[in-house]
Amino acid sequence: MPRVVLVGPPGCGKTTTGEALAALLGVPFHDTDAAVEAAEGRTIGDIFVVDGEPAFRELERAEVARSLAEEPGVVALGGGAPVDPLTEPLLAGHTVVFLDVGIADAARRIGLDRSRPLLAVNPRASWVRLMGERRPVYERVATHVVDTAGRPADDVAAEIAGLLGAPA
């Protein structure tokens, strides 16, 4: 079972913070999006284009379920994973940290480029719409909410370590 699960929108720092937190805690880091890409041998964008979003969500759901049952360290979920009605209940009983961020920081971090399938058309408006839809779920599943705005990943990781009762 993971030590902690990170959730949040694109650009909140799940991967960068997750890697820093895993190093701080001395545990492995696992990114479910990266695991899906590795298993499929193609990018999430390619999966969306070729197979469609429902096919990606099925792959994602299976990887998240496996990760929540088997991964021992820090697990970062893709931005849409917690919103899946079959995935949300799997987060119960886990320590979940919602990495909150505003559009300005998200745009700076990821550029809101077109390589992210759900942000391909009008990236800023799409991000704001996605966040509006997902925020209630992120808040509902979260054990802790940590604001990442304007903060380096190491600072965010140290705050999370403190919330977990680990020395930072």
pLDDT tens string 90-141: 999 999 999 998 655 555 555 544 444 444 555 667 767 878 888 899 999 9
Kind and range of the H or E element at 74? strand 74-76
Residue 24 has pLDDT above 90, yes or no: yes
Q: Domain 4-163 belongs to what architecture?
A: 3-Layer(aba) Sandwich (3.40)
What are the structural domain ranges in the chain? 4-163
Residue labelled with tokens 């990018």: 43
Residue labelled with tokens 């408006």: 125
Torsion sign over Cα 106, 85, 159, 37: negative
Residue 107 vs residues 104, 122, 128, 150: alpha-carbon distances, Å: 5, 12, 11, 12
**pTM for this entry:** 0.87
Average pLDDT, the chain: 87
